[in-house]
Amino acid sequence: MARLNPTDIELFERGVLVRLSNVDAGYGAATVLLGVDFEARAGEVALVTGPAAAGKTTLTHVLRLALPPRSGRALIMGADMARTSGRQLAEVKRKIGYVAENPTFIEHWSAFDNISMPLRMVGKKPRQYADDVRELVDFVGIGEAADLPMEKLSGAERRRAAIARALAAKPHLILADDPTAGMSPADGRRVVKLLAEMRRVGAGVVIASQDESLAECAPMDVWRIERGRIARVAAPLEAETQE
C-alpha cells in the first residue's frame, strides 16, 4: 500500500480538498479533459458550468476518484490518485458525497434504507443513525416518501434522496453532477442552496451544471469548462448573493 505524501496531507489539512494540476483524462481513445487546473477548498462552493459534453461529468468522475488522470496530478483530500492503492482510494471515497446525474439506488429498498447506507457501511446501527437520517430526509424535503421503495419515487424525489445519501455520512467533499436536472427553477435553486449550506459545516461543495444562474444561489467560485479546458471566471462575492 502506497503511503500518503506528508506534503499532500498538509495541503489537505490547510483546507485544499481538491487540486488538479494539468490533468488530462478521458475514455478509450477520447481525451475529454485537457490540461485542467482546478481547486476546491473546505467551506467553499465551486460551480462548474459549461455547455453539454464540455467535460463537466468527466471532471466529476476524476474528483470522485473513478477516472484516473492520463497525465498531470490529481490530489484529492491528500491522496495522489496515481500513487494511491485501492484500499486508500476507498477510504478517501468515504469522505466524498456524490450526487450523480442519474443516481443509482437499490430500487427495492426504501429511500430511508438507501439514504442510510453510507452509515451502515461504516458499521453504525439503526438506533445510532435513525434520528439523524429522519432529520436529513425532512431537510431535503422527501418527507413520508422516505418509507417507499425507491422505484415508487418521482424523479425529483430520487434526486433529493441522492442528495440526502450524499450528505448522510457528513462528507468533507460534496460533488453534485447536474443536481437540478428535471426540476423546476424554484426547486433547483432550493436544492443548490441546500447543498451550498454544507459549506457552513466545513465541507467543500462542487456543483456541475449547465445553468450559470445557479451562481446566484450562494457565494461560489465559478468555473467554466469548454471542450475540456477549464477556467475560473468568478470568485465568491458574499455581498452579491441572494441568500
Partner 1 sequence: MKNALAGVERALFLTLVFAAFAAAAAGLAARAADRVAVHYENERNGYAIVRVLAPEGSAGLMAAEAALAEAPHVVNAARMSANRAAMLLTQWGGAEIGAEDIPALRLIEVEIAAAGPNADAAGDITAALARGGVTAEVIAAPAEIAGGGMAARVRTAALWGAVAFGLVMGIIVSLAARGLAARRRELVTVMCDLGATRSQAAGRIADEAAVMGLYAGLLGGALAGLTGLVVMLLVIPGASAEALPAMILPIDLAPIVAAPLGAAVAAGAGARSAAAYFHAKAARLG
**Residues forming the site for partner 1 (CB under 8 A):** 25-28, 61, 64, 66-68, 86-87, 89-96, 98, 100, 104-108, 114, 117-118, 121, 165, 169
Contact 105, 118 (CB under 8 A): no
Q: In the bound complex, what is the minimum distance in angstroms from residue 66's beta carbon to partner 1?
A: 5
**Rounded distance between C-alpha atoms, residue 196 and residue 46, angstroms:** 9
**In the sheet that 173-177 helps form, which strands lie side by side, from edge to edge?**
96-99, 173-177, 204-208, 45-49, 221-226, 229-234
Q: In the bound complex, what is the minimum distance in angstroms from residue 98's beta carbon to partner 1?
A: 6
In the complex with partner 1, the residue whose CB is nearer, 90 or 237, is: 90
Q: In the bound complex, what is the minimum distance in angstroms from residue 167's beta carbon to partner 1?
A: 12
Contact 180, 209 (CB under 8 A): yes
* Sign of the C-alpha dihedral computed for residues 97, 103, 106 and 109 taken in this order: positive
Q: In the bound complex, what is the minimum distance in angstroms from residue 107's beta carbon to partner 1?
A: 7
The count of C-alpha atoms lying within 13 angstroms of the C-alpha of 31, restricted to the half-sphere facing its C-beta, is 11
Q: In the bound complex, what is the minimum distance in angstroms from residue 243's beta carbon to partner 1?
A: 30
**Rounded distance between C-alpha atoms, residue 118 and residue 96, angstroms:** 11
* CA 235 to chain CA centroid, nearest Å: 19
Contact 55, 61 (CB under 8 A): no
In the complex with partner 1, the residue whose CB is nearer, 64 or 158, is: 64
In the complex with partner 1, the residue whose CB is nearer, 26 or 35, is: 26
In the complex with partner 1, the residue whose CB is nearer, 15 or 68, is: 68
Q: What is the DSSP string of 59-101?
A: HHHHHTTSS--SEEEEEETTEETTT--HHHHHHHHTTEEEE-S
Q: In the bound complex, what is the minimum distance in angstroms from residue 236's beta carbon to partner 1?
A: 28
Q: In the bound complex, what is the minimum distance in angstroms from residue 6's beta carbon to partner 1?
A: 23
In the complex with partner 1, the residue whose CB is nearer, 2 or 90, is: 90
In the complex with partner 1, the residue whose CB is nearer, 22 or 102, is: 102
> Cell numbers at residue 83, please?
500513487
In the complex with partner 1, the residue whose CB is nearer, 67 or 142, is: 67
